[in-house]
Amino acid sequence: MEELLGTIFDAFPEKSTITFKGRCSDCGDAVIIDIVPTLGGFGLLGGFFVEYSTNKYVAKCSDCYKVNSKMVEQYKINPNDSPIFSKEDFLNSMVSLH
């Protein structure tokens, strides 16, 4: 995950915050995550990312992450709206760049 976030900031070196908008893999709610570089790596505000498999990630809202910080078997709420994204999807989904 650190590597993915590093790639994103490499792509937008002038940005201090990058906002991800997606859906929680567990409850299906919209999740908005602000990613902020810190001295030790990256800070996440509003949710978390979980690695699903190589170059595949899901987002989780804070509540679901507290319940289960690991990837669940499958997206259960709305299987047609897959929350799994790749690095490329991730870059494309950056809707708000400050």
Contacting residues toward Zn ion, per CB under 5 A: 24, 26-27, 61, 64
CB of 11 to Zn ion, least distance (A): 27
Nearer to Zn ion by C-beta: 18 or 24?
A: 24
**Residue 83 one-letter amino acid:** P
Ranges of beta strands (E only) in 18-97 are 18-23, 30-38, 41-45, 47-53, 56-61, 94-97
Residue 32 CB, shortest distance to Zn ion, in Å, is 12
Q: How far is the CB of 27 from Zn ion (least distance, A)?
A: 3
90 touches 29 (CB < 8 A): no
Q: Which two tokens stand for residue 33?
A: 């995550």
* Dist CA 55 CA 64 (whole Å): 22
Compare residues 58 and 64 and give the one whose CB is closer to Zn ion: 64
Q: Looking at beta carbons only, is 24 or 44 nearer to Zn ion?
A: 24
